[in-house]
Amino acid sequence: MMNDIGDGISGENVSLPLLKMMCDINDVIDFTFPETTLNSLNECQKCAILCLLNSEVESINEIVLRRLKGDAINLYSTDSLADDDIARTNQTQRDTVNVELLNSFNATGIPRHCLTLKKGCVVTIMRNLSLHNGLCKNSRVIVLDIG
């Protein structure tokens, strides 16, 4: 349903089974992810907050992640050329790669440069990784370990 709305193919009107008006984001998070839900991995997978903007998603994810037990771990995207790529590029091309600019990109469908996770958090897979193993786009999975 979320993708249909985002892709504009759900039509003009979308019926929502439960609608509750809240103005404070913490009230929304408390309603959607009460402590009992946060302590149950299976229940967490059934809940979601829909947002219009990536910045809203990041803000809500940060708040919910802080409420989960455990230590947060930051994972960073690659922001330099691999050795085999360096061999194929000249110095001018290498000098034009602005690391700060690369790390600031925030395009739809692409994770930010810094991804913060905790063991037990629920994440959505953003592209097909392994159809055979069920690791498909938009599947929700639980982080069991961070290596």
Structural domain contains residue 20: yes
Per-residue confidence in pLDDT tens, the chain, 147 aa? 667 776 777 777 877 776 667 789 999 999 999 988 888 878 888 888 888 888 888 899 999 999 989 999 999 887 766 666 655 666 666 666 677 877 887 777 677 888 899 998 888 888 899 999 989 998 888 899 998
Structural domain contains residue 10: yes
Dmax over CA atoms of the chain, in Å, equals: 58
The pair of three-digit structure tokens given for residue 4, joined into one six-digit string: 């249909």
Q: Identify the residue whose tokens are 């404070």.
A: 24
Range of the domain at 106: 2-142
Structural domain contains residue 147: no
Domain count along the chain: 1
Q: Quick one: pLDDT at residue 63?
A: 94
Q: Identify the residue whose tokens are 């992640």.
A: 65
Instruction: State which H helix or E strand residue 27 sits in.
Output: helix 25-32
Structural domain contains residue 75: yes
Q: Quick one: pLDDT at residue 65?
A: 92
Q: Quick one: pLDDT at residue 117?
A: 94
Q: Quick one: pLDDT at residue 96?
A: 67
Distance CA 30, CA 28 (A): 6
Distances from the Cα of 4 to the Cα of 23, 46, 96, 138, angstroms: 26, 18, 39, 12
The pair of three-digit structure tokens given for residue 84, joined into one six-digit string: 């085999």
Q: Quick one: pLDDT at residue 29?
A: 92
| Secondary structure of residue 18 in the 3-state scheme | coil
